[in-house]
Structure 1
Amino acid sequence: MTARCRAAVAALLTACALLVPGTALADTTATAPTPGIGSSAIGIPGVPVYLPGTLGSRDARIVYLHAEREIARANEIQKQLGVPVEARARVGFEMRNALRAYTRRIMADRATALGLDRTDPNMTWEQITGRYRARGLDGPALFEAIAESASKSRRDIDRQFDLDPANLPPLPAMRLTPAA
């Protein structure tokens, strides 16, 4: 198979991955954001739409960890479909950025959420690739590392909330008013 043919097949597989209903990737990328929420993270399968400012920090972390599982699942589905590693990395990276923004929006502790925006802002694609290049990665290894890291978060934060990502509690109940 020629390089041109392989590229055409890869493009076709990527397009199919974006369109096949029932896959995490299709559900994530084809779902339009809900007006007023401002985040495509709610398009991640299994992540409910919570009202802004209604979850305590621990509950927001639980939502975040549930969504991380779905990002990992989307990456695995893309791998199985033969989606090129750079495309998988970009999708995972964008899903994680959207999830971070969404989680901060649903946090009731606005001071902490705004502080996170200042201390841990979402990176650009150029920043994340630069970070991994500084670690000595390049080419497919760089993109694979980005794709994998999109569903990995800081375990010290999980310990702070006494959460084990392997044994998560159920998603929190919906609230109409801010958490206490």
Structure 2
Amino acid sequence: MSGERTLHVEGSHAEKIIGNYLVCNQIVQYMYLGRAEELGMSQLYSTRVHAHGGRSGAIKSEDGILDLPLALPKELGGKGGATNPEQLFAAGYAACFENAVIHVTRGQADKVTDDDIEVSCEVGLLPNGQGGFNLAVSLDVEIAGVDQSKAEEIVKAAHAVCPYSNAIRGNIEVKFRIFTQ
């Protein structure tokens, strides 16, 4: 990976891209707040997963495709040996963010395809100082075929439309490291 930098994009082209997706951002927020009907829209997709036994239990989707045991990580005093909610969140966010990058570049000359993008998500569990916990999230985004400035512009636009980004905006700060090939 080369060209690592922190996300910071300025300029009219970036502002236009973000502006074009503000409407999409509003729609996503309505969809995820259960208010899609107010816009005359129906929900695009819904799934349900049942959990039992807490962090040392199991999860299973209604369709049975997802059926996994859970375990408290060894780092938290558990037995380990199975997945945990943080890993599942990281997997979902990474995959979804990757698709958001592809989505925001569909109509652009620098179109990003599945083979051009790789996203790694790290999710950390932190005490919040009030007896509860917070999450810390960072995304490493690597895009092939574009320069660093264009990659930063694309990531900023993707962050504006990604459902995971929209769901946690204002609650969890997402740190980005952006790389180009």
* TM-score (normalizing by structure 1): 0.27
Q: From the two aligned structures, give the one with the greater helix fraction.
A: 1
Please say which structure displays the higher CA radius of gyration. 2
* TM-score (normalizing by structure 2): 0.26
Q: From the two aligned structures, give the one with the greater strand fraction.
A: 2
